[in-house]
Amino acid sequence: MKSPARMPGESGTGGAGMSAGWTASAMETPLAGSNGHGIEFHIMPTGVPPPAASLLLRGASVIDGTGAPAIPAEVLITDGRVAGLLPPGTAVDAEVVEVAGKVVCPGFVDIHTHSDLTLLSDPRGQSKVRQGVTTEVVGNCGLGVVPRPAADPVGMRAAVAYLDLDPAVRLDQTDLTGYLDALERVGPALNVAALVAHLPLRWGVRQGVAGPVTDTELTRMRDLLAEALDQGAVGLSTGLIYPPLQHADHRELCALAEVVTERDKLFAWHIRDYTDGLLESVAEVLAVARETGCRTQISHLMSVGRRNRGVVGEALAMIDRARADGFDIGVDIYPYLAGNAPLAQLLPGWLPVGGQRAVLLRDPATRQRIAAEWEHNPVGWDEIMICAMPGEDQSLVGRILDESAAELGRPAAELALDLLAEHDNAVMMVAFGRAEEDLRRVLAHPATVVASDGQALADTGATAGGVPHPRSFGCFPRYLSEFAPDLVEGVRRCTSAPADRVGLDRGRIAVGAVADLVVLDPQRLADRSSFTRPRAAPAGIELVLVGGRPVAADAEPGNGTGAVIRMTKGTR
């Protein structure tokens, strides 16, 4: 493990204890606590000043998120915005937060998340706030909840079960405006923007039926997409590994990309295959980008499986050639050597979606055919951990699948098929089989930004179960402390760079900018979560402000500080 990230030129003489705190006696609140798992974490004061109050962050080095060098400055915040970057020692009439020896930087902008329903369940966003995230973009990988047909709430909800951790959350929104309104009503602690997800878009015209769309259906999809983009979505996402999106062809993808291009928004891709078909899948994305000119983001780019190690370098070279030709291609990745997805992602594309699939998964001939295909999988059962599933029996959760199967005296493929027949998309896995050299190569690429691919999860309640991927708890501290070339460039890749990808006015510290800020201790900064104990809060994140207000990770739900961002045409 690398030493904690430092600013260029820092000596790194050890970590001072946490000193951030309110100087006004009426607002003195301890910043240390416990997350209920025996792990120390640092939360924000529960008292928040009135909107017109001024705050002064005193004594820190300021990294503004643009890649400019750190400077010593006092950060003055008024009415939720940065009112000044002042010389050290400037006398100001404001509530003072002493942050000597710390770094103030923009809040992290997580442009690839799946918090679509978890924030409706618990809007505090605890696992994200504690790692310094102040803005999330939901609706990734083609998985979302709107636009959707009002007549089919059950079928589509099952198709996006990955997102659906709380059955009490109502899905009665049919368009993006309704969904964003619902978010505003619950009051999220952090800012939220949304992509239009391809799956509900397609479901709205075909209700999950496989095969290519007709001309009439494609026209309807384009109209629904245009409507959602004009209602404030930051772009479109697809997930070509998920049924029924596996049936989307070049014609469909280009037709949708054209709508996105017309509005100068982003098209984010979970590509068809990150294993043996990685290069063909990247070529498919680039072909659409070249044909339509669409601004393009390749999500969580990585080569998966031992036999595919090193192939991601060839994929990056393909991206470089497209960028050199003038096409706007970006990449994101999280700094872990395992992914997280529904176990159903392993099923072959020829299986149907919905109730018929559950019947076929109990058919002996179908099971034998699937098991035979699985013998050639690039990721073995010894690299797959079950991390979440419904029901009272949680004995398989947190366990490697082939070890559980061996204890039960059964083939691993048979156990996997039983789980899928019973629970379909609701069984989640963590899949290993990645190389650190490949990860570092992607993280170092100039087109790459950092994004978690995780969810905002709570300490208690419906989103507190299972053994989720640690990226939901420590993605950004992990990157900055273990992978960033230096703290200045690392912060840029977590702030202004991802914000620019989706056209958000976040990720920078400048006079007039929204005061989404993080105070961190670079000497203590660390991800303390793991694949077996993921809910440990990171170290070194000492204060988080959203819109100039301190975020209390233990506040009551509904008292959110965040904004629901609607990026209408021409905002970017």
Instruction: Look over the chain and give the mean of its residue pLDDT values, rounded to a whole number.
Output: 88
In the chain, % of residues over pLDDT 70? 89
| One domain, residues 285 and 353 | no
DSSP-based three-state secondary structure for 146: coil
Cis peptide before 50, with omega less than 30 degrees from 0?
Answer: no
In a 10 Å sphere around its CB, with 0-12 CB exposed, 13-18 middle and 19+ buried, how is residue 27 labelled? middle
CATH code for position 236: 3.20.20.140
- Is the pLDDT at 442 greater than 80? The verdict is yes
pLDDT band (50, 70, 90) for residue 66: very high
Q: What is the arithmetic mean of pLDDT over 396-411?
A: 96
Long-range pairs, 40-43, Cβ under 8 A, ≥24? 40/537, 40/539, 41/130, 41/537, 41/538, 41/553, 42/18, 42/130, 42/537, 42/539, 42/541, 42/542, 42/543, 43/130, 43/552, 43/553, 43/554
Per-residue confidence (pLDDT) for residue 6, from 0 to 100? 37
- Is the pLDDT at 52 greater than 70? The verdict is no
| Final residue before a domain boundary, out of 486, 506, 526 | 506
| One domain, residues 231 and 311 | yes
Per-residue confidence (pLDDT) for residue 27, from 0 to 100? 25
pLDDT in tens, 131-184: 999 999 999 999 998 998 776 666 777 778 778 878 889 888 899 999 999 999
Question: Is 93 domain-assigned?
Answer: no
| One domain, residues 501 and 399 | no
pLDDT in tens, 306-331: 999 999 999 999 999 999 999 999 99
pLDDT in tens, 531-540: 999 999 999 9
- Is the pLDDT at 68 greater than 50? The verdict is yes
DSSP 170: -
Q: Which residues lie below 8 Å from residue 455, measured CB to CB, with a gap of 6+?
A: 113, 114, 115, 118, 127, 163, 165, 463, 468, 472
Which range has the worst mean pLDDT, 250-254, 396-400, 555-559? 555-559
pLDDT in tens, 78-131: 999 999 999 999 988 899 999 999 999 999 999 999 999 999 999 999 999 999
- Is the pLDDT at 358 greater than 60? The verdict is yes
| One domain, residues 369 and 406 | yes
| One domain, residues 178 and 311 | yes
| Final residue before a domain boundary, out of 458, 486, 506 | 506
Buried b (16+ CB within 10 A) or exposed e, 210-233: eeebeeebbebbbebbbebbebbb
For 243-305, give the DSSP string: TTGGG--HHHHHHHHHHHHHTT-EEEEE-S-SSTTHHHHHHHHHHHHHHH--EEEETT----S
Which range has the worst mean pLDDT, 198-212, 409-423, 487-501? 198-212
Domain residues for 372? 344-431
In a 10 Å sphere around its CB, with 0-12 CB exposed, 13-18 middle and 19+ buried, how is residue 395 labelled? exposed
- Is the pLDDT at 415 greater than 90? The verdict is yes
Q: What is the arithmetic mean of pLDDT over 288-314?
A: 97
Question: Is 41 domain-assigned?
Answer: no
Per-residue confidence (pLDDT) for residue 8, from 0 to 100? 36
pLDDT band (50, 70, 90) for residue 241: very high
Which amino acid appears at position 468 of this protein? Answer: P
Given the DSSP bridges, would you call strands 448-450 and 95-98 parallel, antiparallel or unpaired?
unpaired
| Final residue before a domain boundary, out of 381, 410, 431 | 431
Per-residue confidence (pLDDT) for residue 569, from 0 to 100? 61
Report helix, strand and coil shares of the chain as percent, to nearest 5.
35, 20, 50
Higher pLDDT, residue 209 or 1: 209
Q: How far apart are the first and last CA of the chain?
A: 39
pLDDT band (50, 70, 90) for residue 40: very low
Per-residue confidence (pLDDT) for residue 9, from 0 to 100? 33
Per-residue confidence (pLDDT) for residue 357, from 0 to 100? 85
Q: What is the dihedral of CA 312, 257, 340, 542, to 10 degrees?
A: 100
Per-residue confidence (pLDDT) for residue 25, from 0 to 100? 22
| One domain, residues 349 and 304 | no
pLDDT band (50, 70, 90) for residue 24: very low
pLDDT in tens, 371-400: 999 999 999 999 999 999 998 999 999 999
For 200-255, give the DSSP string: HHHHHHHTT--SPPPHHHHHHHHHHHHHHHHTT--EEEEETTSTTGGG--HHHHHH
Question: Is 64 domain-assigned?
Answer: no
Buried b (16+ CB within 10 A) or exposed e, 531-570: beebbbbbbbbbbbbbbbbbbbbebeeeebbbbbbbbeee
Question: Is 232 domain-assigned?
Answer: yes
Q: What is the arithmetic mean of pLDDT over 351-356?
A: 78
| Cα–Cα–Cα angle for 146, 235, 159, rounded to 5 degrees | 35
Phi, psi of 184 (to 5 degrees): -60, -35
- Is the pLDDT at 55 greater than 80? The verdict is yes
SS3 labels along 357-408: HHHHCCCHHHHHHHHHHHCCCCCCHHHEEEEECCCCCCCCCCEEHHHHHHHH
| One domain, residues 400 and 354 | yes
Q: Is the dihedral of CA 536, 445, 507, 557 positive or negative?
A: negative
| One domain, residues 348 and 450 | no
- Among residues 569, 505, 567, which one has the least CA distance to residue 65? 505
pLDDT band (50, 70, 90) for residue 41: very low
What residue ranges in 401-476 does DSSP mark as E strands?
A: 428-431, 448-450
| One domain, residues 254 and 281 | yes
| Cα–Cα–Cα angle for 98, 102, 105, rounded to 5 degrees | 105
Question: Is 61 domain-assigned?
Answer: no
> Alpha helix locations (H) across 465-513?
471-482, 487-494, 496-502
Per-residue confidence (pLDDT) for residue 360, from 0 to 100? 92
What is the total count of domains within the chain?
Answer: 2
Per-residue confidence (pLDDT) for residue 152, from 0 to 100? 61
**Are the beta carbons of 5 and 484 closer than 8 angstroms?**
yes
Q: Alpha-carbon distance 431 to 382, whole Å?
A: 9
Cα–Cα distance list, 482 to 270, 277, 560 (Å): 26, 30, 31
Per-residue confidence (pLDDT) for residue 30, from 0 to 100? 27
| One domain, residues 327 and 471 | yes
Per-residue confidence (pLDDT) for residue 151, from 0 to 100? 60
In the chain, % of residues over pLDDT 90? 77
| One domain, residues 317 and 375 | no
Q: What is the arithmetic mean of pLDDT over 270-298?
A: 98
Given the DSSP bridges, would you call strands 428-431 and 384-388 parallel, antiparallel or unpaired?
antiparallel
| One domain, residues 332 and 451 | yes
Question: Is 301 domain-assigned?
Answer: yes
- Is the pLDDT at 350 greater than 50? The verdict is yes
Question: Is 564 domain-assigned?
Answer: no
What residue ranges in 49-190 does DSSP mark as E strands?
A: 54-58, 61-62, 71-72, 74-78, 81-86, 95-98, 103-106, 108-110, 133-138
pLDDT in tens, 457-503: 999 999 998 899 999 999 999 999 999 999 999 999 999 999 999 99
Per-residue confidence (pLDDT) for residue 355, from 0 to 100? 72
Question: Is 123 domain-assigned?
Answer: yes
